[in-house]
Amino acid sequence: MIMASEVGVYDTDPSNILHKGRLKPGRMLLVDTQEKLYIKDEELKLNIARSRPYKVWLQEQVTMDELRDAHSGPLTYVMENGEVNGVMNGGINGVAENDKSK
């Protein structure tokens, strides 16, 4: 395999060339030197996409409505030094348990 930034950098007989092209931005090329093959961008990205269960992951995503439904009580804010330091369920009249004295 010969790669160069300019045409004509390396002289070789045209019969030695199996494939000639340009590796464009965002494209990938895999060369397997043991199997003596190269995998182009489209096939490589397809193999990567099929190697993970993306469809299942998308179906398992939690929606905002599901997050809202998961909260059983009102959300309360934990205040420390005048700043919100966390959010929790429960509390008394919208005030967190450890913030009652303030």
State pLDDT tens for residues 35-90: 988 898 999 999 988 998 888 888 888 887 887 777 766 666 677 777 776 665 55
pTM of the full structure: 0.44
pLDDT at 67: 76
Dist CA 10 CA 56 (whole Å):
48
Residue 39, strand partner residues: 30
**pLDDT value for 73:** 65
Task: Output DSSP code: residue 19.
Answer: -
Q: Are 83 and 98 in contact (CB under 8 A)?
A: no
**pLDDT of res. 34:** 93
What DSSP state is assigned to residue 61? P
- Given a contact cutoff of 8 angstroms between Cβ atoms, the answer to whether 71 and 62 are in contact is no
Tell me what pLDDT residue 54 has.
84
